[in-house]
Structures are given as structure tokens and as C-alpha cells.
Structure 1
Amino acid sequence: MDIKTRISELLRILSNDLFDRESIFELTFLALFTEQPVYIFGRSGSGKNIIAKRAIQMFRDINVLTFAKRYQEIPKNLEDYQIVFFQGFDSKNPLCNNFVNITIQEKSARSLIMTSKERPEASLAEAGIADQVLFILSLPEIYSVNSLQKLLKENFNINNIIAPVDLLITKEEQIEWLKKIQTVELSDDTLKMIGQIAECCNENQVYVSIQKWLAFSLIIKTIAFFNGRSQTNITDTFFLGTPIWIRKAQNETITTCFKNSLTQWLYNRFPLISNLEESLTQLKQEVEHAINSNGDVYETILFNNIECIQYSITVAGESIPLYTPAAYIGTNQEFNPFNELKQKEKRVICNFMGDNVCRISIDSSAKKTGLRATTNASFGKTFEPFAKLPARVLRINDEEKIKKNKAIIEELKQTLVSTIEKNASAMIEFKELYKEVKNNKNNLFLNTEYFNYLQEAIHTQFSKISEHIQILKSLQESLMQKK
């Protein structure tokens, strides 16, 4: 039996009745295996001690030093114990605090597990070990209806679950496996995800010591090792986005950051999608402009380094200059013109509606008070038609302009061909990435929420690119019909 199958069977047997708590059990085991401190918080009867004992049951022939309510002296042979278990950790008890600090400071190949009904932010701060504990795990206060019904129906004896001895991990195996885990390579994707979460922690004043980052990387390598890999991948980092942090606000912040980091990871893998919408809008505008262009030459000025049509409108008794980019002539795109300060005037919307007449609509509030009396920051949501102003034509059927339009159309045809090819290539890559991620579906310690989130994000981008290709092909057909 290989290691993955063996650990999978162990996890299955020992978590079979830990409904809605399986992931906490798995993280507890990972902390014990890698000899990192873990704190399990939960109300009385929530199952925290059961989870701790089940995680300890993963190991064979180990010495466990258990502290319950009565604290006597720490044995002098502390190094002979592989696991130190503080059951019902009490930060108000000086002896308890002293013992746990000694256990952490004099660590010698030992794992530390604490269970408590004290909230971790207060308890760990009182004991002075908040920065030393790797995982702070909080149990849910309720069972889901389905889990409760299953628990009652199956009539589990939660205190009498025993795994076969031949599956249990011996101390010698733990030592051997930890040596091999050190050789597992952290992939570039893994390092980037760690970097983004670290940046999130820095921005939100969440202190994480270098020792804790090293421990996190060891957990990531351990997950890869137990899944039979010599290199980590992005799915091994998913636990970083789960509630393992000391405060509720930190958990919420980092969970949001982690999802954003997954999206950013996709953007980094496929830079094309970061400006997909903008590039398509730009191409649509250029194609519409080219199709509807004739040989007419318009009176323009160079404004904000852009060839623009200058208009003047009177709003609330004030004459207001507006500058519309000439590239919008002949398009059906809505846009904000420039004002005299060379800023986009968000209180005004323009649309040439496929010809050379600019339809101007104004924010209803600005229409009453004037554009200078309000600011771009205070524009409303209701726009009212205000004026229809044609662009002034200097020459019609200008040969040079006609020649230039034809050259633009040919250039756009080539651009569309190239863009369609790039998008088609990206679709193939997205399909391969989807398969690559999907291959991790049966991984041990996989956070299914983030797995599904990532799969859905990949599928969404794949569908979006497919839709864009269809739009690009329709633009291509429109250009082909232009004589």
C-alpha cells in the first residue's frame, strides 16, 4: 500500500463521524505530523477533544503527555514525549501558562496540541504564545441538519473508533518522511501565492513570523508529499485561505485576499484576460469607425494628444467646451467627452449613433446647477438628452481620406485575424489548465471550496474568451463586407 492510500484510509476511518469538522481534523493531523503547535477552540461538547485524540490516533506507539485540569510538575524527561496535549487549556492558570511556554521553548521533536473553550485571541495573548501557534482552529457551534440526521441515524460511537495498527504512522516513518518532505520543491505558483498572502498580511497589519512562514511552507510540502508529488502546486496552498488565523477579522480579510490572489494567479498565467473587455471594446470601436467612415474630412483639434471634435454647449447659462475624440465618429459607443481640464466629463454622455452627429446627454442634476457648480465625483445616475450637434465637414469624398480608410480596414483585418488566433490559443491553454487543476480533485487535504472556486473561475474565463471569439468573427465578417 502506497503512502497516499494509507494516509487516505487513516483519515477516512478516523474522521468518518466528524461531520462538518473533517478539515479541522486534517489540519490538526498535519500540525502534529510536522511538529507544529495547534490550538483548537470550541464550546463545551463541540468535539474539540475528540478531534485532538483522533489526530493523535494516527500515530503508533507514541508517548503522549497529557495535561488536564490538574497541573503538577513537568517531567524531567520531557524529550521522551512525542506529543504534549493540553486538554482544556486554561490561560488564567499560571502553571498552565508556564508549562506550555516551557514545552514550546524547549521543543525537541515534539508536537503540541491545545484544546480550549477560551477564545484564542484572548487565551493565547494571555499565555504569551500567540505568535508561536501555527494553526488556530475554531469549531462550528452547530451541526448542519444533514450531518446531525446522519449522526443520529448511524448511531456512531464516537469514543470507540479504532484504526488498524498496520495503517498507523510509526515514529521511524515520521522521521523518514519528514526528511523526504524537505526535498519537495516549492513551485513558482506556490511561492507567488505565499507572496501575495504575505503582502495581504503586511497591508492589514497581520503579523506573521518568519518561523510561521517556514512552518506553512513545510505544511504545503507535506500535502504534496502525501499526494505522491515531489513538487507542490497551487492546490496545496488552499489551507492558507481558511480560518487558521487568530482573530475573526483576520480570517475574513485573508479569506478575501486569498480569493483575489487566485484570480490574480489566473491573470498572471494569462495576461490576455486582464484587459480582455477593454481590448474588445477598443476593437469594436475601431471597426465601427472604419465601416462607417467615408471620405469626409472633419474640423478637428489636437486636445489631450488626441484628435478631437470641439463642441460648445450652454448649461445653466454657462458656455461649456467639450472635446470628443474623432475616433468615435461612425460608432455606436457611449463615451464621456473631455472637459476643459483635460479630464473625462462623467456628467456628460455622448454617442454618434453610427454617423457624424453627436447626441449629448447630461446628468439631470448638472443640467439645473451647471457643470462648473458640481464635480465629477458627484455625478448622478439619471441622464437627459440635451443636444444633437453635427461634426463640421471640411471636405467630402477626399481621396487621401478614402485611401487612408482602406489602409485602416486592411490593418484591422490583420489585427482581427491575429487576435482571434491569440484567443483560440488561450482557449486551448485554459482547457489544459482546467484538466490540470481537475487532476487534483481526489487529493488528500484538498479544500473543496477553493477547488470549486478555481475551477469555476477557469471555466468562466474559457466561456468569456469563446464569446469574444464569436464577436471578433462577426466584426471580421462586417469588415469583409465593406467595399
Structure 2
Amino acid sequence: MDITERIKKLISAISYQVYEKETIFRLAMLALLGEESIFLLGKPGIAKSLISRRLKFAIKGGTNFEYLMSKFSTPEEIYGPIDLRLLKEGKYVRVVENYLPASNVGFLDEIWKAGPSIQNTLLTIINEKIFRNGGTDIKVPLKLLISASNELPAEGEGLEALFDRFIIRFIAEGLKSDANFEQLLDGESSLDVDVDPKLQLTLQELEIWKKQTKQVRISRKTLDFIHYFRKKILKETNGEAYISDRRWKKISGLMKTSAFYNGRSETDIADLFVIPYCIWDNEEQEKQYSEIFFNTFLEQFGLEWRNEKKNLMNQIDLVNSQIGQTEAQFLRLTPYTDPFKGSIAGTYYFINFTDGGDKYKICFISAGDWNKIRNLTNESFEIDLHFGVNLNKYSGSQKTLVRAYKADQILFVNENKKYLLQNESPNEFNQQMNNLADNIAELEAKYKELSAKMFKEYKKYMNMNCIFFEEIYDEKIAQAFDTKTKKQLEEEAALEKQMKLNAKNNNMKNPIEDLDFKLEI
């Protein structure tokens, strides 16, 4: 099992039966692997603390520490009590076992209520992974720190430095799906989860991979995108957007981490999708900056092809409008009044029905029925068609499922056969229509060729590993190349396979072979 598959299965295992939190688990796993911190903004009771408890199971023998902050919280509650025995010897040393400095995963709820004494020590732990204990620097085993709050840090209270250290930010919400909500109510929620030991990560592995991650290069493609995005966001916000160089450095580290665990030696466009989670400071910015990022992505990837495709579609629409004008100018369906020597009364149009044999070679549709179905070309109608041996001898009528195919063609739906209606000026009309049809065919061939090129390029990116941003990447890369998402294509392929299997099992026959007119004389 390669490292990418292992991390993907590990994320699935630790997020078992935690509904609609897949994105948070993926981001938290990325933060853990990159030894960064993540901040969750959201109301109480939406499984924020559960995530940290589950993340400890990603590490073999992993430990976690969690604490709900208040304005009365003391350093002893976070970093451990003072060792009284050593204090008698004049040494100010904390007992850190089972506290944050000795844990692999930490969760601090209501983080902004922490006092300055807690904040300052926390900054050192986050920045340097060091805890100063009794004059000695201890390297902490902390791989991931998750903080949470139902509010953002208040301005003017000195919390900006601490907030800046939480590189990944995410707005957590409650369940939206009724089905998932019912599963939550009816199922059992567990803080613990069974994870296959073969999937769990050892601290030794993480250290080795950390060194290898530093060897990943930032590709020219992703650098060009970042340059373009920085200019774009400044322009779109009138210069108000500020992303510090330090934050960009942290972002590049997460991009490298994403690339490494997706099996790449240099970053690619899939790794760019960490950016929207790292650049906002409030909810308004989160929405605005994300939109700017995704618009920038669509400008940088596939835009020329999408514009060319749109231009071809506009040309096709123009020719189609010319077809409508030609039909209005030249198409005159031949009316027949009271055909079959008055056997049927009213005005009718003649259908060139070529499959009725000698007995049913003449076919009429009433003008009223034709005008009805012609105006609703996407719908099928069961109407009476009238048949005869010749124009004088009436054989009877038959209810038939039909649809208007073109201005002068009718489709027998069950038989999937098309027939022309008689036209008073066929030569001139056909000449005009043939010319327009040639134009349409040429444009449609170009459109099809371009679509094939775009889909080929899309498949290259679709098959790129993106375990941390899978859903949003799949959506945006499909949008960039104007096609369906990977999930939609897989669902269509499965449906088509099932339909073929059903058709084979039912031993379906060609409907035209069983055509039988049961005429009502």
C-alpha cells in the first residue's frame, strides 16, 4: 500500500460515522502531517472536540489533550502543575505528563479566553515545538493543535499574534442532510474508533516523511498562479487584502505536504486548494476571498478553451435561428381538406410513410395535432394517424406515439423512425436547409473535437491524486474544462452498465420488427 492510499484509508477510518465533517478531517490530517495548527469557528455541539479525539488514533500510541478555556484558566491547567518536590529545591518545574506539552494532538476550546500567560507559552509551542520547563527547553511531541471558538478574536486585545499562528481556518456547521441527521439520532456516536494498526502512523515515520517533504519543489505552474492570485485579490479588494509573507511561507509548506502525500515530487494545481482555507480573518473575508480564489483558478485553467467552446455554441445558435427564418420563409406544408373522399373531415398534412406496405402507404396527421406537437418538440404525444391504400381509399386510424423532429419531419417514437411531411416548395426549401445543415455539421464537428480535447486534458487532472481537497478540486476542475465531475461520470457509467445488463436479461427486440397496426375501421 503506497503512502497516498494509506493516508486516504486512515482519514476514512478516523472519520467513521462522523457525518458531514469529511473536509475538517482532511484539513486536520494535512495540518497534522505538516505539523501546523487549525482553528475551527462554529457553535457548540457540532463535533469539534470529537475531531481531536479521533485524530489521536491516526498516530500509533497517540495521546491527546483537550481543555475548555475560560478567563479564569491558569497555566497549570494547560501545561501541568508545579512539581512541589523540586520546588523545595528551588526549581520551578512543571509535571507535563498528560498535559499539552506531552501530547501528540491538542484541542483548546474557546481559545480566545486564554490569558496572556497561557498565550505566550502557547506561541512558543506552536512556533518552535518547544516548551520551556524550569530553564530547560523540552521538544514537545505535538503534531497537531486544534483550537475552536464560536467567535473570532476581539480586536485590540492582543490576540492577533496567536490567531495568526493557526494557519488553517475552517467554519464548522451543523448537519444539513436529513438522512445524516436521522443517522445521528438513531446511531451511536463514539469518541473512540478502531483503526487498523497497519494504517496508523508512527512518530518515526512522521519524522522521516517530514524531512522528505522538504525536498518537494514548488513548481513554476503553481508559482505563476500564486503571483497572479496575489495581484487579483489586491485588485478585487481595492488593496485591503493582506496576506503576510510569513503566512505565504506556511501555505507553501502545506502545499509541499499535500504534494508529498499525494505522491508528487513537486507541487501541482491540486495542491493550490489549501489557499482558501489559510487567507481569511473573518467570515466576510472567508466568503469573498474563496470566491476570488475560485474565479482566479477558472481564469488560469481552461478559460481559452471555454471561450472558444462558447463562441462555437453562439455560432450554432445563430445558424439555428437562420433555420427558423428559412422555415418561416420557404416551408409550406401541403394541406389536404377532407381526404379519402371525405372519410375524415378537416385539414390534414401528408406524411411520406414508407414502411406501411401497400395497405398503409398513405398516412395523414391532422393540422391541429401537428401544430400542437411542433410547438413542443421535446415532448411525445399519442395521437391518431390516418392510413389508406391510396388517396381515395381509407383503411383506418391508429393511435401512435410521435414527436416533432424538425419543422417538416415527424418521429415515430417506439419505432425510432423519422418521416417527412409533404412540402409545397421542397426544392428551394431543401437547398436552403442543406446549406444550413452543412454549416451546422461543420460547427458541431469543431465543437465535438474541442470537447474531446478538453475532456482529454480534464482526465489528466481528474486522475491526479488530491486526498485533502478531493470534492472541491473535482468540482472546480470539471468546471474549468466544462464537463461533469468524476463522481457524476462514475454514476453515469454505473447506470449505463446496469441498463445494458437489464437489456441483455430482457432479451430486448428491435421494436420496428414487431410493428403491427391494429386499425380501427
TM-score, L = length of structure 1: 0.58
Aligned to 1:434: 458
Aligned to 1:217: 252
| Alpha-carbon contact 2:276-2:293 (below 8 Å) kept | yes
Judging changes above 3 Å, is the alpha-carbon distance between structure 1 residues 451 and 30 closer, same or farther for their aligned structure 2 residues?
A: same
Shift of 1:116: 2.9
| Alpha-carbon contact 2:39-2:170 (below 8 Å) kept | yes
Aligned to 1:57: 57
Shift of 1:432: 1.7
CA distance in 1, matches of 2:301, 2:59: 39
CA distance in 2, matches of 1:258, 1:161: 36
Judging changes above 3 Å, is the alpha-carbon distance between structure 1 residues 447 and 190 closer, same or farther for their aligned structure 2 residues?
A: same
Amino acid corresponding to residue 225 of structure 1 in structure 2? F
Matched, 1:139 2:172: yes
Shift of 1:14: 0.7
CA distance in 2, matches of 1:437, 1:39: 30
Q: SS at the partner of 2:295? A: helix
Aligned to 1:453: 476
Aligned to 2:125: 103
Matched, 1:175 2:175: no
Q: What aligned pairs does 1:232-271 form with structure 2 within 5 A after superposition? A: 232-242=267-277, 245-267=280-302, 271=304
Q: SS at the partner of 2:39? A: strand
Shift of 1:423: 7.5
CA distance in 2, matches of 1:2, 1:267: 31
| Alpha-carbon contact 1:121-1:246 (below 8 Å) kept | no
Shift of 1:23: 0.5
1:282-325 Cα distance to aligned partner (Å, 9 max, x none): 9999xxxxxxxxxxxxxxxxxxxxxxxxxxxxxxxxxxxxxxxx
Shift of 1:130: 2.6
Amino acid corresponding to residue 115 of structure 1 in structure 2? S
Shift of 1:187: 3.0
CA distance in 2, matches of 1:134, 1:459: 32
CA distance in 2, matches of 1:194, 1:27: 20
Q: Where in structure 2 are there 5+ consecutive unaligned residues?
A: 81-92, 131-138, 319-441, 485-521
TM-score, L = length of structure 2: 0.54
CA distance in 1, matches of 2:33, 2:103: 10
Shift of 1:228: 2.1
CA distance in 1, matches of 2:125, 2:225: 32
Aligned to 2:516: none
Judging changes above 3 Å, is the alpha-carbon distance between structure 1 residues 272 and 102 closer, same or farther for their aligned structure 2 residues?
A: closer
1:363-388 Cα distance to aligned partner (Å, 9 max, x none): xxxxxxxxxxxxxxxxxxxxxxxxxx
Superposition RMSD in Å: 3.9
Aligned to 1:36: 36
Judging changes above 3 Å, is the alpha-carbon distance between structure 1 residues 63 and 18 closer, same or farther for their aligned structure 2 residues?
A: closer
Q: Where in structure 1 are there 5+ consecutive unaligned residues?
A: 286-417, 462-483
Judging changes above 3 Å, is the alpha-carbon distance between structure 1 residues 283 and 443 closer, same or farther for their aligned structure 2 residues?
A: closer
1:148-173 Cα distance to aligned partner (Å, 9 max, x none): 122334434x2131313332111111
Judging changes above 3 Å, is the alpha-carbon distance between structure 1 residues 118 and 284 closer, same or farther for their aligned structure 2 residues?
A: closer
Aligned to 1:363: none
Q: SS at the partner of 1:136? A: strand
| Alpha-carbon contact 1:200-1:254 (below 8 Å) kept | no
Aligned to 1:314: none
Amino acid corresponding to residue 256 of structure 1 in structure 2? E
Match of 2:75 among 72, 75, 89: 72
Aligned to 2:6: 6
Shift of 1:235: 1.9
1:202-249 Cα distance to aligned partner (Å, 9 max, x none): 343232222221222222222222222223321222232358732111
Judging changes above 3 Å, is the alpha-carbon distance between structure 1 residues 125 and 116 closer, same or farther for their aligned structure 2 residues?
A: farther
Matched, 1:228 2:224: no
| Alpha-carbon contact 1:59-1:171 (below 8 Å) kept | yes
| Alpha-carbon contact 1:68-1:88 (below 8 Å) kept | yes
CA distance in 2, matches of 1:276, 1:125: 53
| Alpha-carbon contact 1:66-1:86 (below 8 Å) kept | yes
Shift of 1:419: 11
CA distance in 1, matches of 2:101, 2:473: 40
Judging changes above 3 Å, is the alpha-carbon distance between structure 1 residues 217 and 16 closer, same or farther for their aligned structure 2 residues?
A: same
CA distance in 2, matches of 1:165, 1:133: 30
CA distance in 2, matches of 1:14, 1:263: 33
- How many residue pairs are counted as aligned between the two chains? 330
Q: Which has the larger Rg?
A: 2
